[in-house]
Structures are given as structure tokens and as C-alpha cells.
Amino acid sequence: MSSSGLLHHKPNISDYELILHGYKLSTAIFYFRMPDFRHVLNFFTWQFYDLSPDYPRLFEFIEFWQTKLNGPLHSVEFTHCDHFLPNTWRRVVSVSDCPQQQKWGLT
């Protein structure tokens, strides 16, 4: 089975399996006009897994938006994240080590 059709054939696949098949966590912010108030610019944020460099899920959703929804798109901001990079792991201070623990009432 190709990676491009993985989500369609296995809807219950885990995030980890998607990452191993080349999917990347992607975030898209859609800016659109309100149908009844064209001067109002609103936004919708969608986070999903998609395949780079073609991003088929993103373009399917944009096509769906343009054909099925009333609010015309103004613009789309898009970013994606590679997992498993060496600089993505860092030590997180536990609450007990935090200097603000007394301020938060966690002593």
C-alpha cells in the first residue's frame, strides 16, 4: 500500500505509524470572509498529518472549502513539522523544580 492512501485505507492508524510512513504534522490557518458580512475576516485553524511535498489532504480540503462552503477564502497560512529531529528533544523542568511553585501554591 502506498503512503499516499494510508489514511483512506486505515482510518484508525496511530500518529506514530503515520510519522513512520512519511507524514508530517501540518497546521493550516484559513482566513475567510463571513458570508453575510463580507467586511469581516475570520479564521479557522486545522492541524492534521499530511505528506510532503505534495500535501494532498491540504489541497483536498481547500477544494472542498471552495466548492461546498459559503465563506470565500482570503488566504491560507501553512506550516509543517518534522518529528524526530535531534533538536526537538529538551529537558522539561518538573513542577517541583520550578522556582514559581510557591507562587502557584504547589508546595
Q: Which of 26, 28, 24, 29 is nearest to 3 (CA)?
A: 24
Average pLDDT over residues 33-39: 89
Q: How far apart are the first and last CA of the chain?
A: 53
Q: What is the C-alpha separation between 31 and 74, in angstroms, rounded?
A: 5
On whether the CB atoms of residues 89 and 83 are closer than 8 A, the answer is no
Q: Give the range with max mean pLDDT: 52-56, 60-64, 87-91.
A: 60-64
**At residue 65, does pLDDT exceed 50?**
yes
Q: Do 4 and 56 meet the contact criterion of CB atoms below 8 Å apart?
A: yes
Predicted TM-score (pTM) of the model is 0.67
Q: What is the CA radius of gyration of the chain?
A: 20
Q: Confidence band (pLDDT; 50, 70, 90) for 59? A: very high
